[in-house]
Chain A
Amino acid sequence: MLAHARKLAPRSSCLRLTRSYSVRVKDDSRWPGWDVVVGIEVHAQIKSRLKLFSGLLCIYSFGVEGAWTPDYNLPSNTSVSVFDAAFPGTLPRLNPKCVELGVRTALALEANVQRRSAFDRKHYFYADLPAGYQITQHYAPFATGGRVMLEGDEAFVRIKQIQLEQDTGKSTFDSRRKVSSIDLSRAGAGLMEIVSEPDMRSPEEAGHYVRTLQALLRSVGSSDGNMEQGSLRCDVNVSVNRRSEPAGTRCEIKNLNSVRFMMVAITSEVRRQIDLLESGGTVSQETRGFDEEKAETYSLRSKEDAPDYRYMPDPNLPPLLIEEAYVSQMRTKMPELPDATRARLLGLGLSRRDADVLMDVDSGREVNFDGELAPGPVAYFDQISHGRDPKVVVNWITHELNGQLAFREEPFSKNPITVEQMGGLIDLVQSGKLTGTAGKTLLRYMLDKPSGQTADELARELSLLIEDDDGTALQKWCGEAITALPKQADAVRSGNVNVLNKILGHVMKSSKGRADANAARATLLEMLKKK
């Protein structure tokens, strides 16, 4: 209960790890006079191809070869090895990829990877836990310390520890038939439990923390952090206290699976606790669930009913020893973290808005298995803007390309236009060989008919290039337009210049955008005046 508010002093001092907490907390109009304290345990599924302990050499699986970390689209119980189903005689074997992704995560959270950590068994009987215990890191976690910067809030949340552990299976209860269905596909998948210190002061800050954490995990490829699909789940500890009084008794709200619901749950729990205290009652320490429909929390079990998990060092798993050299090597291979990316983009002269849009599209990119980093829009931007004006490039990517992809309901990963093609297109427009309109036409064509041809070749083929002749083509298009639209031509001749736009549109259309609009306008006026 060390920390209450931890608004940052100047950023530089924070980087020297000299934390500065302001004692005064901003009053919240929703609950004046009260302080809210929130700590969060995040369970993030590790995006490893194989599960935490059942991956290696698991040739005896039921449904598929090997015990894959399940794809949520797969039917239930199709990714289960004999180890996951706790068959007698099976033994765990640590998947080194999970360790690698754990180290990346620890580095992203500025946590200290422990040279020695160990695995323990946590015992309880539940239908989705076939072995009767979960392998976790109770006594010696994988990494300790660390923090997450909350961008824009000038605040950070301290990380207490990160531990590696097994996921359980998934049980679904049919209350009508009173039957539980168990899906063991998830059983044994790798999880990172990321435990924060109680450093958050409002539901919004809690939401900000989880979103930031999601982005971090995605950027290092350790988890896709998808709350909807259950690959990221939150347990939230909430307490309230009157300003300047010591921290109150906390309640834990279990299994929140969207940021929005988490914020609603915290808000409702804060109100419940304040109502209790204001009516002279006390908050008792308990574990609570969240009813999404009623938007309120309900008691699951009291502290007295807390199970004794009988933690025992796992006798099958030797301690996990991680050399400093390994961590250093991982450090050199670390992908750029979101904060650094944003700073770099702003440094290139991008507007805050453009940088945010680009990063927003980027954060939606697919997270590949085993930390293989898929190049996203930021990488695409980086390559194209090399030697070009970043502001022009970002405009083409976020507005034109991304707009077209969104229109086609395609993710960015399906973009068929190569860096060279896109760069060529931008060059043609920038050098005046292609009008902006023609550029957009070319872009659409490239999306419609992906090919290996260069932007120049395609533009030539489609006759989109501006004719740099003596203007005969323009004369021809204008003449044709006037012939095609005699009424409008007459109207212009009689002084109604507004109608000129109609004729101009015809010129642009028949020129396929090659005609320079200003030149065409001047030519049309000239031709119509003459008559």
Chain B
Amino acid sequence: MLSQVACVAAQSRHLAGSATFSLSRHLSSTNSIGQVNASVNALIHVASQANESRRSGRGLSDCTVAVKDNICTTDMPTTCSSRMLLDFTSPVDATVVQLLRDEGATLVGKTNCDEFGMGSLNTYSVHGPVVNPFQATNSDVAWENRERRSAGGSSGGSAAAVAAELCDAALATDTGGSIRLPASYCGVVGLKPSYGIISRWGVVSYADSLDCVGVMAKGVRTVKAIFNVLSAYDPKDPTAARVDTRHKAATACQEHGPRHSGRSLSGLRVGIPQEYFPMELNPNTLKPLRRVLEHLRARGASLIPVSLPSTSYALSAYYVISSAEASSNMARYDGIEYGLYKEPPPGSDKTKTANVYAHSRSAGFGKEVQKRILLGTYALSADAFDNYFLQAQRVRNLIRADFDRVFAIPNVLSSTPQNNFGEGVHVLLHPSAIRTAPPLPSLEHDIDSSKSDASILDAYVQDVLTVPASLAGLPAMSVPTGFGEDGWPVGVSIVGQWGCDEMVIDIGRECEQGIIQ
């Protein structure tokens, strides 16, 4: 596998240059990595050469990887794009970072993101917004002066770093769509694995029950190579899927998976969930999706319309659960053991500990994080707990049940796995986002203060297609499928049963080839 991966990385570079994506044109030799990054703002810390301990002869020794800034590294800061942790360097390496180092990968730096992973546009960052590196082919301005669009969030820096070829791949995290959305907006591949497959030790928690570490790269093969390195059981993560559970899932995938051979996809049943084409979906993005579907059908796959009726409740449930967990996880940032400490001004009331912390927390957290802390604190308060938190958990169970009903593969995590007896689909396929990358607000003050409620809601709606898989803990991968009518990238998402990550990746590869051909 060793030399294979190196070649995958090189190949994806080649594919990107020659076929679908036209970025290389702009990134001519006149632009240094520094110049490119200055325009994209993807890397917020670039590793010094001295830190690179390239171990040749290992599986990823020719691979350069950027790491999202909410994943702990001992040799680089881990700021989570928050003023709170601006000077924070973790005493631990995340397990995923350790695994990459062990396989000889070169860590090129830390990537920008929304503060603690909260956001869908990568605009809530103390380092400033990420600017999507993409430029439509029909544009005639210099790349540096391209249209300023969002890279998506929260892993916008990881997606943009890959798209701008600052690295071969990037580690990212996905809580409600934070990998798939930026992958779609930037025109790269993004995989959110099944919950519990990749270790979260050393990954800064936003909402523990939803957080997943995933991989972004130009091509599916690179994603797969890195996923294979990272998907190891880690006893340090109490939510890690145990080895026997992984075996059970693999067996279930094999027993109930598609039985196609050779180049044909006959036997593969692809579900198209009707609820994933909501009113908010921009119809201009549908053409590339149709091309993928046509390609799959031409190869022998059956396309089957399915219904996931609880989908419409997913977004509200997601925001209640994620905010509740966020409010809990953010409680540790008080400026005492580490992080920003703001001395209470003279004469302030210090009778309660919370009053002292309030100064550091108000100064350290951005508006969006503060908003979610308040929302989550309310959802957990004694009066609201039943109506919000518990209700959201019920919805979460309904969403899971929806998925279990349509998949041919039984859910090995369920206490009563449903057997759909040959009925049901192997994967689901749907648009990754409701639109192509939205424009960035022109000035920073637009982002925080003078924003209308409608545009805030807009930002939350970005996640409508991605949160159901997060709530159910399912593997989901966004693959670029071409361009919308505005010339910007569009992604398609492949979603599988829990533990069927490999199947999702393989079908992602099929979709990718459909585009390349």
Contact = CB atoms under 8 A, between A and B. Distances in A.
Interface of A: 56-57, 60, 82, 85-94, 121, 123, 125-127, 130-133, 182, 184, 308, 310-312, 315-318
Contacts of A184: 337
B235 A57 contact: yes
B357 A125 contact: yes
B317 to A, nearest CB: 14
B176 to A, nearest CB: 14
A64 to B, nearest CB: 14
B80 A91 contact: no
A89 B202 contact: yes
Interface in B334-356: 334, 336-338, 352-354
B91 A316 contact: no
Given A123-B380, A318-B239, 9 more contacts: A82-B92, A88-B80, A91-B238, A93-B238, A121-B328, A125-B352, A125-B357, A311-B380, A315-B208
A89 B205 contact: yes
Contacts of B338: 85, 87
Contacts of A315: 207-209, 239, 325
Interface string B209-236: 1000000000000000000000000011
B204 interface: yes
Given A85-B337, A125-B354, A132 B94 contact: no
A165 B324 CA distance: 21
Contact of A126 (B237, B238, B353): B353
A90 B92 contact: yes
Contact of B72 (A88, A121, A133, A311): A88
A90 B94 CA distance: 9
Interface in B228-252: 235-239
Contact of B238 (A60, A89, A317): A317
B239 A132 contact: no
Contacts of B237: 91
Contacts of B239: 91, 315-316, 318
A312 B91 contact: no
A312 B377 CA distance: 11
Contacts of B92: 60, 82, 87, 89-90
B90 A88 contact: yes
B85 interface: yes
Contact of B201 (A86, A91, A132, A182): A91
A184 B238 CA distance: 23
B365 interface: no
B270 to A, nearest CB: 32
Interface string B181-223: 0000000000000000000111111011100000000000000
A130 B353 contact: no
A57 B238 contact: no
25 contacts: A57-B236, A60-B91, A60-B92, A82-B91, A87-B91, A87-B92, A88-B72, A88-B85, A89-B71, A89-B90, A89-B92, A89-B201, A89-B204, A91-B200, A91-B201, A91-B239, A92-B238, A94-B238, A125-B331, A125-B353, A127-B336, A130-B336, A132-B334, A310-B327, A315-B209
B275 to A, nearest CB: 26
Interface of B: 71-72, 78, 80, 85, 88, 90-92, 94, 200-205, 207-209, 235-239, 324-325, 327-328, 330-332, 334, 336-338, 352-354, 357, 377, 380-382, 385, 389
A138 to B, nearest CB: 12
A132 B332 CA distance: 5
A132 B238 CA distance: 20
A82 B352 CA distance: 26
A87 B381 contact: no
Main secondary structure on A side of the interface with B: loop
Contact of A89 (B94, B327, B330, B337): B94
Nearest to B237: A91
Contacts of B330: 132
Nearest to B204: A88
B236 A93 contact: yes
B238 A86 contact: no
B315 to A, nearest CB: 19
B211 to A, nearest CB: 9
A30 to B, nearest CB: 37
Given A88-B205, A312-B325, A93 B337 contact: no
Nearest to A317: B238
Contacts of B236: 56-57, 91, 93
Contacts of A56: 235-236
A339 B324 CA distance: 48
Given A86-B332, A88-B205, A88-B332, A316 B353 contact: no
B353 A127 contact: yes
Contacts of A87: 90-92, 337-338
Nearest to A60: B92
Contacts of A311: 380, 385
A318 B238 contact: yes
Nearest to A121: B328
A311 B238 CA distance: 20
A109 B354 CA distance: 38
B375 to A, nearest CB: 13
A133 B327 CA distance: 11
Nearest to A88: B204
B72 A89 contact: yes
Contacts of A126: 353
Nearest to B236: A57
Closest 5 CB pairs of A and B: A132-B331, A315-B209, A310-B380, A315-B208, A125-B354
A83 to B, nearest CB: 10
Contact of A88 (B78, B334, B354, B382): B78
Contacts of B204: 88-89
B337 A130 contact: yes
Given A89-B92, A93-B236, A312 B208 contact: no
